[in-house]
Amino acid sequence: MPASAPSQTQTWSWAKTAIGFRPEYLDFARGIRVGNLEPHERITRILKAGLEARYGQEFVTERWGRGVFWQWIGFLNRPNRSAKPKSSHVSFGCSKFFVTVDTDERRFKCGMQVERGYVRAPRENRECQLRSDWDWQRLVAALTPRGFLMRELKRLVADEFEVQAGSWSEDNVFRKTTLPGASRLRAMLAAAPARQWCGFQIYFPLDEHDVQSMNGTDLIDTMMAVFDEVRPAMNACMQVALQPQG
């Protein structure tokens, strides 16, 4: 795997027998291949099983895309969603792990995501309007200059992670030398247009060469390692935290 990629101290026990995933299933022109595959080859099944084994909680799989190739896949822990008094029936308000192939940048990204959705949602998307029990509220409250979340963001960008904040239609991506302070980040999130979809991501990127230099088990191990790295930041935004088992 790339020298800069997060690594596991051990190979996941389930990975040795359950993974048929291949690097070519991350297609930089079409997305993440999920269709026309055997169950042991599908990234959705593999990562869901790995997360449930790792954290001892049930996970819900979300996706953006249709057909054989999906552009984005998310995994959120069901207990955190169930704990929400107003929004337990939807997943928009939940922090989640995600993987995506950005076909414009031709990069694979893996990390965590918190969505704000809309402040003023279109009539046909009322369920996507920000509510008081969404994890977004905890994210914003946790962004303080000396807070744990800000320390985690600084630690992660120092290890070549990237942060994207605000409207998905804008290129607000930050790295080690450009990450703003907590006050500016909060102001940027507050200024995101109320009628546009808004969110926050922390992710580790891999380019085509990185992906092609690994086998399928290495790639899954890297994704699981990234999830472990961003978990403390995600816990800072959730009602029900994730803790490794064993």
3 has a pLDDT exceeding 60: no
User: pLDDT digit string (tens) for 166-217?
Assistant: 998 887 999 999 999 999 999 999 999 999 999 999 999 999 999 999 999 9
The amino acid at residue 12 is W
Distance CA 169, CA 20 (A): 35
Q: How far apart are CA 47 and CA 19, in angstroms?
A: 10
pLDDT value of position 54: 95
Q: Which domains, from first to last, does the chain contain?
A: 15-235 (3.30.930)
Distance CA 84, CA 151 (A): 27
What's the average model confidence in pLDDT over 39-45? 94
Q: Could you tell me which of 57, 77, 189 has the C-alpha nearest to residue 136?
A: 189
The whole-chain average pLDDT of the chain stands at: 93
pLDDT digits (tens, 9 = 90+) for 114-149: 999 999 999 999 999 999 999 999 999 999 999 999
Look at the block and give the residue holding tokens 């009539």.
Answer: 123
Q: What is the pLDDT of residues 56-115, one digit of tens each?
A: 999 999 999 989 999 999 999 999 999 999 999 999 999 999 999 999 999 999 999 999
pTM: 0.93
Q: Cβ(187)–Cβ(91) under 8 Å?
A: no
Which residue is listed with tokens 């954290």? Answer: 55
